[in-house]
Amino acid sequence: MSEIVDYVNTVDQCSASDIVHHLSNEKRMRNHGLTPRKIGLFIPRYLKGIIAFSLDTTTGKRIYHPA
């Protein structure tokens, strides 16, 4: 959980795919079954007051940023 918050604070505008890529490759969490869908469900449920999102107008993806 703190890894996600640290990454979003470091990289201001990021997608769930960016977060999964960082955790899987940089933090070596490859075998945890992380997917963008799981991250997209986890953030609004558990990190609502810490991380906010807005919708990208061209792709429709959620772009996460610190709240």
pTM for this entry: 0.86
- pLDDT for residue 12: 86
| CATH code, residues 2-66 | 1.10.10.10
pLDDT at 33: 81
**Per-residue model confidence (pLDDT) at position 34:** 87
Res 38: pLDDT: 93
What integer pLDDT is reported at residue 50 of this predicted model? Answer: 95
- Percent of residues in the chain assigned helix, strand, coil, to nearest 5: 50, 15, 35
pLDDT at 26: 84
Place of tokens 């955790």: 23
Letter string b/e over residues 15-48, b meaning 16 or more CB atoms within 10 A of that residue's CB: bbebbbebbeeeeeeeeeebebeebbebbeeebe
Collapse the DSSP code of 52 into the 3-class scheme (helix H, G, I; strand E, B; otherwise coil) and give the result: strand
Give the residue extent of every domain in the chain: 2-66
* Residues in the chain with pLDDT values less than 70: 31
